[in-house]
Amino acid sequence: MNASISSRRPSGLLDAATGWASRHAWFIEDELEAFAGLIRPDSVCVDVGAEFGLYTSQMWLRSRAQVLAVEANPVLAGRLARAARLLGDRGRLTVKRAALGEEDGGEVRLAVPYRRGHAVYGRAYVADDLEPGEIYRDEFSETRVLSTPRRSLDSLIGELNLPRVDVLKADIEGAELEMIRGARRTLEKYHPVAMLEIEERHLEKYGHSAADVFDEMAALGYRAFALEGDRWRPTAGLVDGRRNYLFAAE
C-alpha cells in the first residue's frame, strides 16, 4: 500500500469545472475533485445517499459502466429517476429508493428536518428507535417523517446483477456502520475504493462512534485516508476539518 493516494491529474473541461467548483463553491465538498479523479472509464460506481446527484453525476459522466444511485428520500429518489429517464442511457444509471442497513426488511422511518419551512434534505436520517422531534431540536424548527424501504447493499448488488463494484461513496447521516455491515460481501469480494462521511455528531444518535466505523473497515482489510492538499494521506482516525474519509483495500 502506498503512503498516499493521488487522483488522476486534470485533463479536460469536466476536470477543470469540477476542480473549480470543489475549491470555490461553499456548498461543494473539498473532496469532490479528488474523489472524482479516482473514477475510471470502466468503473462500476455506487452512490449511497445520492441526494441531488452531485456525486452520481460525476460517476455517470466519468464512467461508461453502470452507476447505481441509492437515495432514501422518495422526493429526491423520484427526481433522480426522472433525470435517469431523460438521459436515455439504456439503463446505465439505476436509481433505487432505499435506506441501506445491515439487512433487508420492511419499511423504516426517515426523518426530514425543516428550517423556516424548507426541507433540509441533506440532514435527513433514519429515525427507527429514535424520537425525531428530539433530535437536532435546537437546529431545526420542524421534523417530518416519511417511510422508505430498508435494503442491504449486498442485496441490491445481487438483485441488479452488477458485475462488480469499483467505486463507492456513502453519506447517510450516521447510518454508515449499518450500511457497511450490510455490504460485507461486496466489500470483501470486490474491494471497491470507498469514501464515507464519518462524523461523531451523526453517529452518536445510533450509539456508535467514528472509531467503530474505522475499526469495522479495518477488519475488512481497508486502510483509511484523509485528503491533504491534492493527496489522500493515511490516517488512523478523525482529522480536524474533515468529514469524508477514503478507504482502500490493503
Mean pLDDT of the region 218-240? 96
The domains of the chain, with CATH numbers, are: 5-97+149-249 (3.40.50.150)
Per-residue pLDDT, 188: 98
Quickly count helices (H) and strands (E) in the chain: 9, 14
> pLDDT per residue over 171-204, tens digit each?
999 999 999 999 999 999 999 999 999 999 999 9
Alpha helices in 52-173 (DSSP H): 54-62, 74-87, 153-160
Per-residue pLDDT, 27: 60
Per-residue pLDDT, 136: 81
pTM given for the model: 0.90
> pLDDT per residue over 144-154, tens digit each?
999 999 999 99
> pLDDT per residue over 66-120, tens digit each?
999 999 999 999 999 998 888 876 679 999 999 999 999 899 999 999 999 999 9
130 C-beta neighbours (distance < 10 Å), count: 14
Mean pLDDT of the region 196-223? 97
> pLDDT per residue over 3-14, tens digit each?
677 665 545 666
Per-residue pLDDT, 5: 74
Residue 1 pLDDT greater than 50, yes or no: no
Per-residue pLDDT, 101: 96
Closest-CA residue to 148 (of 174, 177, 175, 126): 126
- Cα 6 to Cα 38, 39, 226: the distances in Å are 8, 12, 11
- Cα 142 to Cα 68, 88, 119: the distances in Å are 31, 38, 9
> pLDDT per residue over 38-79, tens digit each?
999 999 999 999 999 999 999 999 999 999 999 999 999 999
- Rounded to an integer, what distance in angstroms lies between the CA atom of residue 156 and that of residue 134? 32
Per-residue pLDDT, 16: 59
Residue 205 pLDDT greater than 90, yes or no: yes
Mean pLDDT of the region 31-39? 93
